[in-house]
Amino acid sequence: MPDATSATLPRPILSVCIYCGSSDAVDQRYKDEARQLGGILAAHQLRLVYGGGGVGLMGEAARGAYEAGGKVLGIMPQFLRTKERLLDEVETVIVESMHERKMKMFEESDAFVVLPGGVGTLEEVIELLSWRRLDLHKKPIIFLNSGGFWQPFFDLVDFTVGKKFTPDAFRHTYKSVDTVDEVLDAIAEMASHDEEIDTRRVL
CA-CA-CA-CA torsion sign (72, 78, 84, 88): positive
pLDDT score of 41:
98
3-state secondary structure of 75: strand
8 Å CB contact between 2 and 181: yes
pLDDT score of 164:
97
Beta strands (DSSP E) in the chain are: 15-19, 47-50, 72-77, 91-95, 111-114, 141-144, 175-177
Work out the pLDDT band at 6, boundaries 50, 70, 90: very low
pLDDT score of 201:
34
Average pLDDT of span 104-109: 95
Average pLDDT of span 98-124: 95
Q: Which domains does the chain have, with CATH numbers?
A: 10-202 (3.40.50.450)
pLDDT score of 118:
96
- Average pLDDT over the chain reads 89
pLDDT score of 88:
77
Distance CA 155, CA 7 (A): 29
Q: CA nearest 71: which of 109, 21, 25?
A: 109
Taking only the tens place, the pLDDT of each residue in 14-73 is 999 999 999 999 999 999 999 999 999 999 999 999 999 888 999 999 999 999 999 999
pLDDT score of 171:
93
Q: Which residues pair with 74 in a beta bridge?
A: 50, 92
